[in-house]
Amino acid sequence: MGEDTRKWGARVEAAARSLGELIHAAVRRAIETAVDEEVAAALGAATYVCTGTRRGDRNGTKPRPLSRPTGPLDLTLPRARLFVPPGTREWTSTLLPRRSGLDAWRPRAQADVDAVDLYLDALLALRVRSAGKVVSVPVLGVVAVLADGQKPLVALELCAGGESFEAWKSCLEDLVSRGLPAPVLCIIDGHVGLRRAVERTWPGADVQRCGVHKLRNLERKAPKHALAEVREDFHRIVYAMSGEAARAASSAFERTWATRCPGVVRSLHEGGDERLTFFRFPPAQWKTLSTTNVIERLNEEFRRRVKTQGSLPTEDAAVILRFSLVASGQIRLRKLDGWPTMVDVMRARPRSAA
């Protein structure tokens, strides 16, 4: 009996070790592929391709260890030299920066970040190895909208205990402690903890509830055969020509569905007037301010990068890879629609103190 138990334990241990090796091999391939794409973009040409627009040449490869709990992940990364008159200089990857790059970014001062609006949402939860077990860990993300319409990433906070009021409160208090001015508008999903944290941190800020998240909530309350009609009626609200027209469409929605699907109407009420806050801003900004799709853009790109992986080797890997995609320019967030009207926003709605 004891011998059988030992054999079974050995087989389980060997299987776990093999699975871990497969996961680490997948991580290594994903990182090496991403860095190879980055150097090709920097050079303006793929390997062995001759073109008059080439901006440099490859120069072999180099080993690079990436730390993880059970030892380094050994990477083989490309080397290259860029043509910089009157000579050349060595190419360096921004997709895979040394930890010092992320460590310098995290605590940086925010007093000079002229943030008018903030997008706040939890990024895609990934399976990572933490304390010897693979767990699902979300990352809290905050993207600012500046007075010139630019959208910089201002916070990435690992949330090992799950998305909660305390996690968001800590994240926002950290931004305030580093000098971030109180925003005019916060665009959020429907998470109760996030809403409380925004109210606690910036009580004078306007709040816009994401229309995409709200529609998903309505769809979960509606029977399948009524989904198309629910979507159409909801779109009449969010695509209205004015706030007054949106409120009229909202009343019509309630009359239509109060008896047929009371759960749908209760879900609509849950968002309150914060579903329509964006109508108080210039019409050119309505589309961009009505959802948290800016955060979804980060999710989509990151999901594409890691879709073949079972899990990441460390908690920090989830933050490092997300930060690297933005820092390297592989994810570019375009300016806010209607950004020239930001001056009107600032003039009409001066920001409150934090």
Q: pLDDT tens for residues 61-98?
A: 887 766 554 445 778 888 888 888 888 888 888 777 65
Q: For residues 290-308, b (16+ Cβ closer than 10 Å) or e, as one string?
A: bbbbbbbbbbeebeebbee
- pLDDT for residue 262: 94
117-140 pLDDT per residue, tens: 999 998 877 777 777 788 888 889
Dist CA 216 CA 191 (whole Å): 13
Dist CA 207 CA 209 (whole Å): 7
State the average pLDDT for the chain: 83
206 pLDDT tier (thresholds 50, 70, 90): very high
pLDDT higher than threshold 70 for residue 349:
no
3-state secondary structure (DSSP) of residue 137: strand
Check if the beta carbon of residue 288 is closer than 8 Å to that of residue 185: no
- pLDDT for residue 115: 87
Q: Six-digit token pair at 179?
A: 């000098």
- pLDDT for residue 326: 79
pLDDT higher than threshold 60 for residue 12:
no
Cα of first residue to Cα of last residue in the chain, in angstroms, is 67
163-178 pLDDT per residue, tens: 899 999 999 999 999 9
- Listing DSSP states for 156-218 in one string gives EEE-TT-S-HHHHHHHHHHHHHTTPPPPSEEEE-S-HHHHHHHHHH-TTSEEEE-HHHHHHHH
Identify the burial level of 279 via C-beta atoms within 10 angstroms of its C-beta, where 0-12 means exposed, 13-18 middle and 19 or more buried. buried
Sheet holding 185-188, edge to edge: 153-158, 133-146, 115-130, 185-188, 206-209
Dist CA 149 CA 341 (whole Å): 9
DSSP label at residue 312 = B
